[in-house]
């Protein structure tokens, strides 16, 4: 019997499930019948930061991808509409993951500045500024939040698309490897307008095309 990845790779429509795992402003996610995978349907790809995130991951050698990143098996993108379908490893919801958020560019400045010297402050945990929450969470989550922001910053610089680090509710747990997964860590700034006027469409195009050159698991419809 053919496995799920092989079937999806040839024709994702052959795998259907009515068990919705999650949904947001940009996509809906369904579990496959075997429960080991999830299918992510993106409806506004040229305004969805996850598409840039996923494309960058797939363009990298598998053994060089960040330990906290989701496992994405296949990503299919319609380059005319921006809609996409992805087959990813299924994870469990993690209610105790990172909660910091903010503009990626602002958070990078905080990372470069570092935590203030408050070691002598007995009320340190109550008095730190909100902008340093990311660095405190980095200490609690094996530096994953900082690594993720740095990863997103590189994408932002390369694409010219402004990104927002959006972690509340967007972390998962991989029961097999016993690791936290930052599965959907960003959105495009001013995403509501971007969905309407496609202001970042050309930048998305250019980046996705470049990533596809070294990403055998990316399949582009309308590849130029």
Any residues with CB less than 8 A from the CB of 66 and at least 6 apart, and which?
Answer: 57, 144, 147, 148, 151
Of 36 and 54, the one with more pLDDT: 54
The residue among 200, 218, 222 whose CA lies nearest residue 54 is 218
Residue ranges of the domains in the chain?
4-218
pLDDT at 45: 79
β-sheet bridge partners, residue 20: 30
Tens digits of residue pLDDT in 82-139:
999 999 999 998 888 999 999 999 999 999 988 666 555 445 455 456 678 899 899 8
112: tokens are 């470069």
Q: What percent of the chain has pLDDT over 90?
A: 62
Q: How far apart are CA 149 and CA 112, in angstroms?
A: 12
Helix, strand, coil percentages, rounded to 5, for the chain: 40, 25, 40
Tens digits of residue pLDDT in 44-65:
879 999 999 999 999 999 999 9
CB atoms near residue 105 (< 10 Å): 17
Tens digits of residue pLDDT in 75-88:
999 999 899 999 99
Instruction: Write down how long the chain is.
Output: 224
Phi, psi (5° rounding) for residue 64?
Answer: -105, 0
Containing H/E element for 7?
Answer: helix 4-10
pLDDT at 208: 96
The residue among 80, 60, 81 whose CA lies nearest residue 69 is 60
CATH topology of domain 4-218: Phosphorylase Kinase; domain 1 (3.30.200)
State the average pLDDT over residues 200-209. Answer: 96
pTM: 0.89
The residue behind tokens 């340093």 is 132
Say whether pLDDT at 32 is over 90: no
β-sheet bridge partners, residue 163: 188
67: tokens are 């330990």
pLDDT at 35: 81
Q: pLDDT band at 1, cuts 50/70/90?
A: very low
- 181, 99 contact by CB (below 8 A): no
Q: Give the CA count within 13 Å in the CB-facing half-sphere of 175.
A: 6
């Amino acid at each position: 019997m053919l496995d799920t990845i092989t079937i999806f790779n040839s024709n994702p429509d052959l795998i259907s499930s009515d068990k919705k795992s999650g949904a947001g402003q940009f996509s809906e996610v369904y579990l496959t019948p075997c429960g080991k995978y999830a299918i992510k349907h993106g409806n506004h790809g040229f305004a969805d930061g996850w598409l840039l995130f996923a494309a960058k991951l797939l363009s990298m050698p598998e053994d060089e991808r960040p330990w906290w990143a989701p496992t994405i098996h296949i990503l299919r993108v319609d380059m005319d509409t921006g809609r996409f379908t992805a087959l990813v490893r299924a994870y469990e919801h993690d209610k105790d993951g990172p909660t910091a958020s903010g503009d990626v560019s602002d958070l990078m400045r905080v990372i470069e500045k570092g935590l203030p010297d408050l070691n002598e402050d007995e009320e340190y945990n109550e008095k730190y500024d909100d902008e340093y929450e990311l660095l405190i969470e980095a200490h609690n989550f094996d530096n994953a939040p900082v690594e993720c922001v740095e990863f997103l910053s590189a994408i932002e610089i390369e694409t010219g698309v402004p990104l927002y680090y959006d972690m509340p509710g967007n972390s998962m747990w991989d029961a097999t490897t016993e690791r936290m997964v930052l599965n959907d860590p960003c959105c495009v700034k001013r995403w509501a307008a971007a969905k309407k006027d496609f202001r970042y469409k050309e930048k998305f195009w250019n980046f996705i095309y470049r990533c596809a050159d070294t990403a055998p698991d990316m399949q582009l419809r309308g590849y130029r």
